[in-house]
Amino acid sequence: MGLVIGIVVVVVVLLLVGWAIVGYNGLVRARNAFQNAFAQIDVQLQRRFDLIPNLVETAKGYLAHERGTLEAVTQARAAAITGLGAAQAAPGEPQAMQQLAATQGQLTGALGRFTATAEQYPDLKANQNMMQLSEELASTENRVAFARQAYNDSVLAYENRRESFPTSVLAGMFHFGEAAQWQIAPDAPQTRDAPHVQF
């Protein structure tokens, strides 16, 4: 009888240890998945940031008296780079993701105003370099949207795993913190759509 109880105890302990290992590894995989998804956002945003100076430089000659618009795009780009830097340091952290969303929203708004201004200049619209840059930027905006969706899906999977019982016990024990999705602010409707950059 004592042997049977001993075997049962050993089996229960082994099952608990196995469950803990599987649960912990699942949390690690989910965290790594959303961090990898954020890295894809990072790549696409860097591409966006690299295209903007070329776009502004191409438009400078045509929009000489629209200096405020060009400066607004340049300043918004700088703020967006700072916001991305904060999010890179802590992917998924709620405050960093809010800062990223806010600065990207400012950039999207500035690009929208730039596009509206550039529409008034037929020579600029016909410029081959401007058309190519605009096409690349539009393509990049689509990639950012897809990367953002993949990131948000990964965060959802992580949060579901982190908050579900009994894995939530392990998440608390091993300090698996909350991850925030990249939410577009409801008070910034201009950020809900990619800026239209077709010329």
Contact 108/194 with Cβ under 8 angstroms? yes
Share of the chain above pLDDT 70, in %: 92
Burial class (CB in 10 A: 0-12, 13-18, 19+), 26: middle
Alpha-carbon separation of residue 82 from 77, 88, 92, 107, 155 (angstroms): 9, 10, 16, 12, 22
The pLDDT assigned to 77 comes to 95
Q: What is the pLDDT of residues 121-140, one digit of tens each?
A: 888 878 888 889 889 999 99
Question: Rounded distance, CA 181 to CA 41, Å?
Answer: 12
| DSSP 8-state secondary structure symbol assigned to residue 61 | T
Q: Which domains does the chain have, with CATH numbers?
A: 2-191 (1.20.1440.20)
pLDDT band per the 50, 70, 90 thresholds, residue 199: very low
Average pLDDT on 86-96 reads 93
Token representation of residue 2: 């004592």
Question: Rounded distance, CA 126 to CA 199, Å?
Answer: 7
Q: Which of 156, 185, 191 is nearest to 98 (CA)?
A: 185
